Amino acid sequence: MSENEGVRLQKVMAEAGIGSRRHCEELIGEGRVTVNGKKVFRFGERVDPDRAVIHVDGRRVETRSEMRYYMINKPRGVVSTMADERGRKSLAEYVEVPERLFHVGRLDTDTEGLILLTNDGELSHRLTHPSYGVFKTYLAEIHGPIPRDLGRRLKAGVTLEDGLAKADKFRIFDQVGRRVLVEITLHEGRKHIVRRLLKEVGFPVQQLARVEFGPIKLGQLKPGGMRALTVREVGELYKAVGL
C-alpha cells in the first residue's frame, strides 16, 4: 500500500467507536496501538479498514464496516433459531435489524437468557468450539436442601451417558425456603448439559437462564430485549478466543 492509499489510522479508530480523533492520536502516540501485530507511533499511518487487524491495549478493534454484533435475552418458550419449520416462536421475532445474523450456539427452548448474534463467522466458530474453552454461566432454580459437598462433586466431575461432565464454578446464589438459585459455570456446550448434570446429582432444574457468555454479561436486559455490543465488549470477545 502506498502512502496515499488507505485511511488514516486515527480516523479508522474513531469511526470504529474508540473515541475522538484527538483521543485516538493520543493512544497512538502512547504506543498503545498495533496494526497487524506491529506497534504504531506515526499519526499519518494509513490502513485498509477491511484488512488491517488493529489492537488497542491488547484488545482487537473491529473495523470492517459490514460486521455486526448483538446480544439478545431469549425468552422462555422461544427456539434458538432465526426460523422454525414447525411454526414455533423464534429469535427472528425479536430481531429488528436488516442484516442477516447468526446465533452463536443455542439454548434449550425452555431455557432463557443470553444469546449472541453476529455475521462474523470466524468469531462465532471460535466462541462455540470446545477447544477455545469459552465459559458460560447459568442461574438454575432447584429445590433444596442442598448438601454442603454439592459444589465439590460437580467440580470433580459427574459421569453422564456421553462422558464426564464438570462444573468449573458453582455457588449458591440465593435461597428462600426450599427454592434455591445456584450459579454454575461451564466451558463446554453439550446439549442440555446443565440440566443433565444437576439431574444426575439429584437436583432437577425447575428454571434455567444463561447470564454470561465469556466476558459478556446479560445485565438488566429484559426478556426479548436486544442491543448492540459495545466496542469494548467486541474486543473482549476477540481476546477470549485469541483473535
Query: What is the four-CA torsion angle of 60, 62, 64, 70, rounded to 10 degrees?
Result: 140
**13: its cell numbers:** 479508530
Q: How far apart are CA 137 and CA 50, in angstroms?
A: 33
Q: How far is CA 205 from the centre of its chain?
A: 23
Point out the catalytic residue in the list 48, 57, 84, 108.
108
Q: How far apart are CA 97 and CA 134, in angstroms?
A: 27
108 as an active site residue: the answer is yes
Task: Kindly write down the DSSP assignment for every residue of the chain, as one continuous string.
Answer: --TTSSEEHHHHHHHTTS--HHHHHHHHHTT-EEETTEE---TT-EE-TTT--EEETTEEE---TT--EEEEEEPTT-BSSS--TT---BGGGT---SS--EEES---TT-EEEEEEES-HHHHHHHH-GGG---EEEEEEEESPPPTTHHHHHHH-EEETTEEE--SEEEEEEEETTEEEEEEEES---TTHHHHHHHHTT---SEEEEEEETTEE-TTPPTT-EEEPPHHHHHHHHHHTT-
Q: Which residues are catalytic?
A: 108
